[in-house]
Homo-oligomer: A and B are copies of this chain.
Amino acid sequence: MDEELGDLTESDFILPPIKYEYLDHTADVQLHAWGDSLKEAFEQCGMAMFAYMTEMAYVQIREVHTIEANADDMIGLLYHFLDELLFLFSAEPFLICKKLVITEFNTEEFRIVCKCYGEEFKIGTHPQGTEVKAITYSAMQIIDEPKDHKFEVFVIIDI
């Protein structure tokens, strides 16, 4: 199917006008977090999300807020836990969390209460990292294997 350069005629070199554009760009990143317990893996996952949004070195602990999450199963609980955290950041108080401490981790009634330590996000003080648009259920995984001492979560977030 190849043709030699000699076969190209003058008109072959005339270029067409541009009639295209590039539209909105979506992306995601997968968070992988672990701990000595599933509770710790959840806390770490939440902190991973916040660390993606800004440089954590610029964030100080000045306030503490409490969030609650409820669901019908563990996957749903992880989703709603992260979604509540994201809401803390997306609406007032626009909190960036540097530290999360889950005070109630009920894996039977699927309920989490969590203390969120951090400070209000302020442009100028805090570098803007990547905006997290949404938590997704896509390929979400919870590894809860106490025998092997394996407690891990995988969550894909839209950015």
Query: Which residues of A pack against B, CB within 8 Å?
Result: 1-3, 5, 7-8, 12-13, 15-16, 18-35, 40-41, 43-45, 47-48, 51-52, 61-67, 93, 98-99, 117, 154
Contacts and interface: CB of A to CB of B under 8 A. Distances in A.
Identical chains in the assembly:
2
A12 to B, nearest CB: 6
Contacts of A52: 22
B20 A44 contact: yes
Contacts of A93: 2
Nearest to A47: B20
22 contacts: A1-B65, A2-B93, A8-B61, A8-B64, A16-B40, A16-B44, A18-B47, A19-B33, A20-B31, A20-B32, A20-B34, A20-B45, A20-B51, A21-B32, A22-B29, A22-B30, A22-B32, A22-B52, A23-B30, A23-B32, A26-B28, A27-B27
